[in-house]
Amino acid sequence: MREKFIWAPWRADYILGPEEKGCIFCNALRSKKDKNKLVLYRGRTAFVIMNKFPYNSGHVMVVPHRHIGTLLKLKQNESLEFMELIQLTVKVIKATLNPDSFNIGMNMGRGAGAGIPYHMHMHIVPRWSEDTNFMPVIGKTRVVSFGLDLIYGILKKGFDAECRDVKSRPKRS
């Protein structure tokens, strides 16, 4: 059997680049360069950011502003906005990328598989019926079809349009 290669040049930055100092989520929140940090939307107490090393095209995360590692530390207003942003994100991804379904989940703590256990975040991964094919099943390889820049542009336009619509509606009392 011949050895097979899959070209993934975007991984070079992850492999060869310097490790980011501090919390990647806090760094992204402090930055004013949303596109560079892949921030799609900033709320009052939480924000939406793309996963730089996605499981699938359109993989994003909803993250509280506060540097906390567990749901139990969310204040009521933070909890409400956190869930509202998860719903908004699903709505935007559905409207812009038209997936068949979603995986939505959180790993709280290192033992649960959290790659960043000290700053909680919810993963939202769009799925298409056709994305479960022979590559991940037999080849143990996942193929991400679209680059981050393209997906960022599509999702950012979706968030901007949806939030413009929300801002024009009357406020809740």
Active-site residues, by number, are: 121
Q: Report residue 127 CA to chain centroid gap.
A: 13
CB distance 23 to 39 below 8 Å: no
Closest Cα partner for 41 from 59, 14, 61? 61
CB distance 109 to 117 below 8 Å: yes
Q: Which residues contact 111 (CB under 8 A, 6 or more apart)?
A: none
CB distance 124 to 82 below 8 Å: no
